[in-house]
Chains A and B, each alone.
Chain A
Amino acid sequence: DQQVKQNSPSLSVQEGRISILNCDYTNSMFDYFLWYKKYPAEGPTFLISISSIKDKNEDGRFTVFLNKSAKHLSLHIVPSQPGDSAVYFCAASGQAGANNLFFGTGTRLTVIP
């Protein structure tokens, strides 16, 4: 059973606008959440993370929001750039800092110039 879900397989956004990628999880024991970015023919690379003690974490153009009561997190990219076009995976861990990750199915973001 998929414990981390990304219900939108794809998303297209105009350059300069906001991209919002969503992720839901079912396991209430998860307490650390991450977003990975993946380009074709490359492995995933870490983008941004958030601990369950926070509800927001920001890093430049990227912000992750966590709503624990709804078991939902989202990644906001503002402004979106063509180089952001990639597959984005949401992941969760049952222990802050642990490496055993549960991944979502990914959302393919296309930023249109």
Chain B
Amino acid sequence: EAQVTQNPRYLITVTGKKLTVTCSQNMNHEYMSWYRQDPGLGLRQIYYSMNVEVTDKGDVPEGYKVSRKEKRNFPLILESPSPNQTSLYFCASSLSFLGGADTQYFGPGTRLTVL
């Protein structure tokens, strides 16, 4: 089954404790992206990657890092989480950067709480 998986689905942590949210897709997609969803703000793009070893900032990259060492994986790293990073996070992938936004597949989401 074609899918985007994220782990963990739920995470409660404390300020300053480094964490990684993993994202994996099994569709051989080139393009991957991370979004955060906050009440009253919709989904905002954090980082995206057009291919292996190619990453770029989205609209709200501050406080986040990403890496794309393999095509299927695109982890989101919070080196020193802060309470304002409490949010619902979505990973997404599509065949290519110009593959069409309507072919973008989203993961189920990771709800992160930073105390």
Interface residues of A (CB under 8 A from B): 2, 4, 6, 32, 34, 41-46, 49, 89, 91, 93, 95, 97-106
Let me know if A91 and B106 touch, CB within 8 A.
no
> Which residues of chain B come closer than 8 Å to A34, judged between CB atoms?
101-102
Given contacts A91-B101, A99-B97, contact A44 B106 (CB under 8 A): yes
* B4 interface neighbour in A6, A43, A106, Cβ under 8 Å: A43
Residues of A within 8 Å of B99, CB to CB, are 97, 99
| B96–chain A nearest beta-carbon distance, Å | 8
Contact status B33-A99, CB under 8 Å: yes
Q: How far is the CA of A90 from the CA of B51 in the complex (A)?
A: 26
Instruction: Find out whether the CB atom of B106 lies under 8 angstroms from the CB atom of A45.
Output: yes
Contact between chains at A106 and B42 (CB < 8 Å): yes
- A103: chain B residues within 8 A (beta carbon): 35, 42-44
Cβ of B98 < 8 Å from any Cβ of A? Answer: yes
Are the C-beta atoms of A43 and B40 separated by less than 8 Å? no
Q: Are A46 and B42 in contact (CB under 8 A)?
A: no
B103: Cβ under 8 A from any A Cβ:
yes
B92 beta carbon closer than 8 Å to chain A = yes
Cβ contact within 8 Å between B42 and A104: yes
Q: Give the one of A46, A49, A93 with max B CB within 10 A.
A: A46
Assess the A49–B102 pair: CB atoms within 8 A: yes
B43 near A89 with CB under 8 A, answer yes
Q: Shortest beta-carbon distance, B46 to chain A, in Å?
A: 12
Q: Please, how many angstroms separate the alpha-carbon atoms of A44 and B42 in the complex?
A: 12
- Give chain A nearest CB distance to B44 CB in angstroms: 7
- Report A-chain residues with C-beta under 8 Å of the C-beta of B41: 2, 105
Q: A32–B42 contact, CB under 8 A?
A: no
Interchain CB contact under 8 A, A99 and B108:
no
